[in-house]
């Protein structure tokens, strides 16, 4: 009759025999020590077997993840040419869902505390060093694209050995434009706006709250006031038209949805902006592409909390406020997410896997799922008016157009939940994109024709 340690040792060896690569990491001595430790915890065999399964399952997923990242680097190495004269790095970017690896010359113009202001070929940007937080910049840019939210052009920077040496965020303003974050916009309004009553309101609110730093609130009315402050700020802008104001409001409120789902916590007023263009002595405004959304966790916050301007708030509160008070602005993005949450979540999972080490990837994957489930539950409980079928179909077909490059980037089988850790990465050729996009367009055209009465 076998004793307990013998049974546990046999079970460990049986499991390792099915995990060939993991088995190489376990010597006979290491197996014996593990068996001794499991015997010592004095639990029934069924519970010990479950512990062994969990341990090896986690380690196997970690090895698979690390192998995936290593194979990705090897693939990039096989696809690069020697740097041309004057170029000093490679830049990996995502252009409308397509990976683009290009050579570039990056020259530092001005050094700042946390970044360098640099020239990139024909443009400008901000270079930051390697960090876990900056990995999220590339992830956020892809998620924003899926949700049809503009994000600042973001690059992963590599040396000639394809070792990552940082990221670059492209400058958002062009010639004859001026970028202002919302703190700078507040100062601009104080100087330029002639809307005295509203200017007085936003000034009093700003000065009362800015001195307190980020504080925790539990009243929904306070959260709504914080959102309304930004909307009033837009209304104060000199020369702003009603149409321009509605565009700014819609863009800002859509970003609030993006922040909740992605767990972005860098949501203070210095991390939103407007782009000002002055033509024929009239100001026009555009909400700047989203940027600097790399902070996804904060020791002060639980998984149910986020930051909204001046406050730490409950995610459920802010979702309910957005649905109750501003639904007309976020109706399209809400229905887009609800209708396509399965494919959207799976694509996000794939692009996240490319940029994060295993433990970080696993944790972020869990919080993403938690946020998506919360958002969908509150939407269903709110009994909100859905989009008309015509607008919804148009919205979803535009989404299919955007995800076409992703479906070409990844093996279709990778979206089968029964297949773990399977996915092939490719730099997508223009011909492949055109083929997939053409199919989507033809499908959309057939749908429209079918709606026309003869």
Are the CB atoms for 129 and 116 separated by under 8 Å? no
* pLDDT band with cut points at 50, 70 and 90 for residue 211: confident
pLDDT digits (tens, 9 = 90+) for 332-356: 999 999 999 889 998 999 889 989 9
Residue 385 binned pLDDT confidence (cut-offs 50, 70, 90): confident
* Nearest by Cα to 334 from 274, 260, 407: 260
Residues 76-104 pLDDT 10s = 888 888 899 889 999 998 887 788 889 99
Question: DSSP for 43-60?
Answer: --HHHHHHHHHHHHHHHH
Among 50-64, 252-266, 333-347, 367-381, which is the least confidently predicted range? 50-64
User: Residue 307: what are its φ and ψ, rounded to 5°?
Assistant: -115, 135
Among 168-177, 189-198, 204-213, 294-303, where is mean pLDDT lowest?
A: 168-177
36-40, 99-103, 256-260, 411-415: segment of lowest average pLDDT: 411-415
Going by C-alpha positions, the residue among 308, 269, 274 that lies closest to residue 288 is 274
Which residues neighbour 216 within 8 Å (Cβ) at sequence distance 6 or greater?
A: 311, 312, 313
3-state percent breakdown (helix, strand, coil) of the chain, nearest 5: 55, 15, 25
Do β-strands 89-95 and 305-308 pair in parallel, antiparallel, or remain unpaired?
unpaired
pLDDT of residue 7: 84
- Flag whether pLDDT at 424 surpasses 50: no
Confidence band of 418 (pLDDT split at 50, 70, 90)? very low
> Strand pairing of 311-314 and 215-216?
parallel
Is the pLDDT at 10 greater than 60, yes or no?
A: yes
> Residue 414 — pLDDT band, cuts 50, 70, 90?
very low
The reported pLDDT for the residue numbered 13 is 81
The per-residue pLDDT for 20 is 65
Domains in the chain and their CATH numbers? 4-78 (no CATH), 89-170 (no CATH), 177-383 (1.10.1070), 387-454 (no CATH)
Average pLDDT over residues 285-307: 90
pLDDT score of 433: 40
Mean pLDDT of 110-121: 88
Give the model's pLDDT for residue 210.
Answer: 83
How is residue 238 annotated by DSSP? T
Which helix (DSSP H) or strand (DSSP E) does residue 273 occupy?
strand 273-279
The sheet carrying 177-181 orders its strands as 177-181, 273-279, 282-287
Number of alpha helices (DSSP H) and beta strands (DSSP E) in the chain: 14, 13
For the stretch 149-198, pLDDT in tens is: 999 889 999 998 889 999 999 887 777 788 999 999 999 999 988 899 99
In this prediction, residues 396-418 reach a mean pLDDT of 70
Total number of residues shown for the chain: 454
Confidence of residue 360 (pLDDT cuts 50, 70, 90): very high
Residue 386 has pLDDT above 50, yes or no: yes
Q: In what order do the strands lie in the sheet with 89-95?
A: 98-104, 89-95, 154-158, 164-170, 123-128, 116-120, 106-111
pTM listed for this prediction:
0.80
Average pLDDT, the chain: 84
């Amino acid at each position: 009759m076998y004793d307990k340690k013998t049974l546990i040792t046999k079970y460990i060896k049986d499991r390792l025999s099915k995990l060939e690569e993991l088995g190489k990491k376990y010597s006979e001595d290491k197996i014996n020590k593990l068996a001794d430790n499991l015997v010592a915890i004095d639990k029934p065999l069924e519970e010990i077997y479950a512990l062994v399964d969990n341990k090896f399952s986690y380690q196997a997923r970690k090895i698979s993840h690390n192998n995936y990242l290593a194979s990705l680097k090897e693939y990039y190495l096989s696809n690069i040419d020697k740097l041309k004269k004057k170029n000093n790095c490679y830049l990996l970017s995502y252009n409308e869902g397509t990976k683009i690896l290009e050579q570039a010359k990056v020259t530092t113009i001005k050094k700042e505390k946390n970044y360098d202001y640099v020239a990139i070929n024909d443009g400008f940007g901000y270079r930051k060093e390697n960090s876990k937080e900056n990995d999220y910049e590339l992830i956020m840019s892809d998620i924003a694209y899926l949700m049809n939210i503009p994000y600042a052009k973001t690059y992963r920077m590599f040396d000639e050995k394809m070792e990552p040496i940082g990221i670059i965020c492209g400058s958002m303003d062009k010639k004859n434009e001026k970028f202002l974050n919302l703190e700078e916009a507040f100062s601009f309004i104080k100087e330029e706006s002639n809307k005295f009553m509203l200017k007085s309101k936003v000034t009093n609110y700003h000065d009362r709250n800015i001195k307190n730093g980020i504080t925790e609130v539990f009243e929904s009315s306070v959260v709504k006031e914080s959102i309304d402050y930004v909307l009033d700020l837009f209304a104060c802008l000199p020369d702003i038209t009603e149409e321009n104001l509605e565009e700014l409001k819609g863009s800002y409120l859509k970003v609030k949805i993006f922040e909740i789902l992605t767990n972005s916590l860098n949501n203070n007023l210095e991390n939103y902006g407007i782009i000002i263009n002055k033509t024929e002595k009239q100001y026009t405004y555009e909400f700047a592409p989203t940027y600097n959304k790399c902070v996804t966790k904060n020791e002060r916050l639980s998984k149910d909390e986020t930051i909204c301007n001046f406050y730490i708030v409950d995610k459920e509160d802010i979702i309910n406020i957005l649905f109750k008070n501003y639904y007309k602005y976020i109706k399209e993005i809400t229905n887009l997410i609800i209708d396509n949450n399965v494919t959207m979540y799976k694509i996000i999972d794939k692009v996240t896997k490319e940029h994060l080490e295993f433990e970080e990837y696993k944790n972020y994957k869990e919080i993403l799922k938690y946020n998506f489930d919360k958002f969908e539950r509150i939407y269903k409980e709110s009994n909100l008016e859905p989009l008309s079928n015509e607008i919804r179909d148009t919205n979803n077909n535009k989404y299919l157009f955007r995800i076409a490059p992703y479906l070409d980037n990844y093996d279709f089988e990778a979206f089968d939940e029964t297949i773990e850790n399977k996915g092939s990465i490719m730099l997508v050729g223009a011909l492949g994109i055109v083929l997939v996009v053409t199919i989507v367009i033809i499908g959309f055209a057939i749908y429209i024709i079918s709606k026309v009465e003869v």
